[in-house]
Amino acid sequence: MTTLDPLSDVLRSVRLRGSVFFHVSCRGQWAAQAAPSRELAPAVMPGAEHVIEYHLFVKGEGWVAVDGEPPLRVSEGGIVMLPHGDAHVVSSAPGMRPWPEDNWLFRMLDDPKPIPVTYHGNMVEPGSRLPIDDASTVIVCGFIACDLRPFNPLIDALPKLLHLPAEGVGAWVAPMLEHAVSESAARRAGSAALLERVSEMVFVDSARRYFDSLPPQSQGWLGALRDRQVGRAIALMHAEPAEAWTLEDLGHRAGLSRSALHERFVALTGLAPMQYLARWRMQCGARLLRESHANVAAVALEVGYDSEAAFARAFKRATGSPPAAWRRAQRQSAGSQ
């Protein structure tokens, strides 16, 4: 657990999983409605706590709209993600609303991926794919699952619409994702796993580029990572979660007084430093319970608790279940997927 890269720590610990892809061909005027991810999750990624949807515009352009936000124009080669899983409309022009659709998506989820879909006017044709030359717009749509509990500060730190224009997307992203889709369409061995891994890489790259683009003095968890002193304190807690940190120790190592660190930490993250440490310890403990065979007492020591009982109480408060029961449920869920 020794690292000075908290963003990578969180990305590793929240179990990113890519799954379910649609290859969408559009012609003329068109609009498609996507339900909130909490409604889609049981069908598209059973057992997932949270599902993020994204759209890569392979050809042409379109608009993506979430209630309460101005419509976003996405040009060819651009990617838009919906980190909070909001319901949204993807369309050929702003302000469009699709006709009510039946539950074709749920009927087709067991089909081989990627699932082809064609939109033309008010018509939707599941299972149909236009030749690339006949389509005005082609979109690859994917889903990424992650854990929210015990502690995932990244999701809240991302906007409702995370837009990466073509010039802001890594040069490898679009070609690799298109290649993965083609591989899957050809039904080659291992192609489904390839598509899933590429999807996870797309999310990691998008989160990293968003982080790099933040202006100075940004708020939230990502803004805290960019702050020299607060970012240093967070990195220290991530590097050594079992250390008996005090506010004085963190302030000294970060170059701030005890009170100044507390004030700045709370202003940026909404949490006091010791609250943050307690939550990160729970996340580390959850990862150890899921990925190792260590007993609960050993996990407790590994994340900074002197007694199994104290760790178990804190873990139950964070997750709703005692550590041993939580571990069993996680393994049963993994075995059923």
Of 163, 180, 213, which residue is a domain's last?
Answer: 213
Claim to verify: residue 240 and residue 130 sit in the same structural domain: no
Rounded CA-CA distance 170/203 in Å is 11
| CA-to-CA dists, residue 213 to 8, 150, 216, angstroms | 17, 28, 9
Task: Please indicate, yes or no, if residue 104 is contained in any of the structural domains.
Answer: yes
Segment 272-286, tens digit of pLDDT: 999 999 999 999 999
Least confident of 42-51, 180-189, 283-292: 180-189
Supply the pLDDT for residue 193: 74
Claim to verify: residue 245 and residue 279 sit in the same structural domain: yes
Segment 173-200, tens digit of pLDDT: 767 777 766 766 666 776 667 777 878 8
Report which DSSP code applies to 334.
H
User: Is pLDDT larger for residue 114 or for residue 32?
Assistant: 32
Radius of gyration of the chain (CA): 22
Of 213, 242, 259, which residue is a domain's last?
Answer: 213
Token duo for residue 18: 């890519």
Structurally, the chain folds into a number of domains equal to 2
Claim to verify: residue 153 and residue 185 sit in the same structural domain: yes
Helix (H, G, I), strand (E, B) or coil at 32: strand
Claim to verify: residue 194 and residue 251 sit in the same structural domain: no
Task: Please indicate, yes or no, if residue 139 is contained in any of the structural domains.
Answer: yes
Claim to verify: residue 192 and residue 272 sit in the same structural domain: no
Task: Please indicate, yes or no, if residue 168 is contained in any of the structural domains.
Answer: yes
Supply the pLDDT for residue 23: 86
Claim to verify: residue 227 and residue 165 sit in the same structural domain: no
Claim to verify: residue 192 and residue 66 sit in the same structural domain: yes
Claim to verify: residue 88 and residue 173 sit in the same structural domain: yes
User: Is pLDDT larger for residue 114 or for residue 322?
Assistant: 322
Claim to verify: residue 40 and residue 175 sit in the same structural domain: yes
Claim to verify: residue 204 and residue 230 sit in the same structural domain: no
DSSP string, 262-306: HHHHHHHHSS-HHHHHHHHHHHHHHHHHHH----HHHHHHHTT-S
Segment 60-89, tens digit of pLDDT: 999 999 988 899 999 998 999 999 999 999
pTM: 0.85
**Residue 1 pLDDT more than 50?**
no
Looking at the chain, the whole-number percentage of residues with pLDDT higher than 70 is 89
User: Is pLDDT larger for residue 220 or for residue 122?
Assistant: 220
Supply the pLDDT for residue 186: 65
Decide if 265 contacts 273 (C-beta within 8 A). Answer: yes
Report which DSSP code applies to 196.
H
The distance from CA 260 to its chain's CA centroid, rounded to whole angstroms, is: 32
Q: Which residue has the tokens 């906007």?
A: 159
Residue 322 is part of a domain; what is its CATH number? 1.10.10.60
Mean pLDDT of the chain: 87
Claim to verify: residue 39 and residue 171 sit in the same structural domain: yes
User: Is pLDDT larger for residue 124 or for residue 237?
Assistant: 237
Least confident of 132-141, 154-163, 315-324: 132-141
Of 183, 213, 243, which residue is a domain's last?
Answer: 213
22: containing domain: 6-213
